[in-house]
Amino acid sequence: MSMRLAADVALVASKRDPASLNVREHLAEAMGLEGSGLVVEGEEVLQGSYCGKSVALITLERDLIYADHVEQYVRCRVAVFLSRHSSQSGLPMFSAHVPGNWTASAEYGGKPSSVCVAPALLLTRLVRAQFELAEERRLSGWRCGFEVTHHGPYLEETPAVFVEIGSDESRWRDPEAGAFLAEAVCRALSGPLEGREAGVGLGGPHYAPRFNKFVREHDLPIGHIVPLYVFDEIGEGAIRMAVERTLERVTCAVLDWKGLKRRHKEWLLPLLDEMGLEVVRA
Q: Is the pLDDT of residue 4 over 90?
A: no
Alpha carbon distance 242, 246 (integer Å)? 7
Alpha carbon distance 26, 229 (integer Å)? 35
> 53-101: per-residue pLDDT in tens?
999 999 999 999 999 999 999 999 999 999 999 988 889 999 999 999 9
Alpha carbon distance 196, 194 (integer Å)? 7
> 23-33: per-residue pLDDT in tens?
999 999 999 99
Quickly name the fold that domain 5-281 has.
Aminopeptidase (3.40.630)
pLDDT at 1: 45
Helices (H), the chain: 18-31, 120-136, 169-172, 175-189, 209-217, 236-244, 262-274
Report which residue type is found at 212.
N
Mean pLDDT over all residues of the chain? 97
Q: What angle do CA 19, 23, 25 make, to 5 degrees?
A: 115
> 193-252: per-residue pLDDT in tens?
999 999 999 999 999 999 999 999 999 999 999 999 999 999 999 999 999 999 999 999
| Strand 197-202 with 160-167, pairing | unpaired
Q: Is the pLDDT of residue 2 over 80?
A: no
Report which residue type is found at 152.
G
- Whole-number percent of the chain with pLDDT over 90: 96
Dmax of the chain from CA atoms?
57
Q: Where are the domains of the chain?
A: 5-281
Q: How far is CA 24 from CA 11, 214, 234, in A?
A: 8, 30, 36
pLDDT at 88: 81
Number of H helices, E strands in the chain: 7, 14
Q: If we measure between CA atoms, which residue out of 116, 111, 114 comes closest to residue 97?
A: 116
pLDDT at 89: 82
Q: What pTM did the predictor assign? A: 0.97
Report which residue type is found at 21.
L
pLDDT at 271: 98
Beta carbons of 255 and 279 less than 8 angstroms apart: yes
Report which residue type is found at 187.
R
> 166-181: per-residue pLDDT in tens?
999 999 999 999 999 9
Q: Is the pLDDT of residue 165 over 90?
A: yes
pLDDT at 90: 84
